[in-house]
Amino acid sequence: MIRILLCCGGGFSSSTLASKVEKEILENNMQNDYSIEFSPFLLVNKRMNEFDIIVCCPHLIMQVKKFVKTSKIDKPIYILPPRMYGLISFKELAIDVVDAINLYNETKINPVYFPGEENTMMVTRHVAYRNSKV
């Protein structure tokens, strides 16, 4: 099972997204494969060890970059592209989560960026990275 922590600034938008995503997980009978919880980003350091990946809302980009420079992290941190965040589909997010974990395991670089997406705020896709290249 892949355990996902979805973070935003105060936990409000991530709680809404996590509820939507939890519903999709149940509807698609994926509860044995994925779990998701939400949290304000300020608590990520305390909760990180409970999860396999930290997925952050796009408005956290500066906090994430500062965090990875000042903290010892052994989990991938993935910042959602803005359109994917707004139009979130768990099936697409699940693909990015698996790919981000694999990319992190290869590179150990945080935050995790897919090739050509180093500037997250300029990414216009709303589907998983691998599906945007089809």
What is the model's pLDDT at position 11?
A: 52
Domain that holds residue 106: 2-132
pLDDT band at 50 (very low <50, low <70, confident <90, very high): very high
Question: What is the total count of domains within the chain?
Answer: 1
Of 5-19, 80-94, 103-117, minimum mean pLDDT range? 5-19
| pLDDT for the residue numbered 15 | 64
Cα–Cα distance, 134 to 131 (Å, whole number): 5
Question: Token pair 């600034």 is at which residue?
Answer: 9
Six token digits for residue 124: 């216009």
**What percent of the chain stands above pLDDT 90?**
66
Q: Which of 121, 17, 3, 130 is nearest to 111 (CA)?
A: 121
Q: What is the pLDDT of residues 63-83, one digit of tens each?
A: 999 999 998 889 999 999 999
Average pLDDT, the chain: 90
For position 19, which CATH number holds?
3.40.50.2300
Q: Show the tokens assigned to 75.
A: 């989990």
